[in-house]
Amino acid sequence: MPVNWNLLNRADYESFSGVKEMLVLYNAHKRNAARGDTVSHSILIDLNTAIYSGVLTRKQLEAIELFCMHNMKQDAIGAKLGVSHRAIGLRIDAGVKTIQKLLLSGNLYKKPSKNTDNPYCNIEGDIYLGTAEEVLWDG
């Protein structure tokens, strides 16, 4: 598959809006990666690594997962969690800022500190993102 130059040029980790756009397009990245789009695959790896690195609070992680991965609206997330859509927006934005800092830090692929509070980290601090099929599954 040829390089997806359009997406490569749009993937801007240096701007908040660029990182948020890549997160909002999470499911599109999964579909495109499953079709062999290497740019989407690389972005998906970066996003998953950042999201599940342990840097997000549980509330930020939950809001990002529901908003970006499950395509829920902020009002619906707020209703589900018993908080206002404004609170959800603040959690998402704080999470995006944290993810952006990690993406730009140069530390994204360094071994994480031990974080047993993160359900995706084992006791040794290794991050488990799932098998390729689980990561790319669009079902």
Question: Are 11 and 18 spatial neighbours (Cβ–Cβ below 8 Å)?
Answer: yes
CA neighbor of 93 nearest in space, from 5, 40, 19, 33:
19
Q: What is the dihedral of CA 30, 34, 36, 42, to 10 degrees?
A: 40
The tens-digit pLDDT sequence of the chain (139 residues) is 666 778 888 889 999 999 999 999 999 999 998 889 899 999 999 999 999 988 999 999 999 999 999 999 999 999 999 999 999 999 999 999 999 999 998 888 776 555 545 554 444 444 444 444 444 444 4
Fold of 11-129: Arc Repressor Mutant, subunit A (1.10.10)
> CB count, 10 Å around CB of 95?
27
- What global pTM score does this model have? 0.77
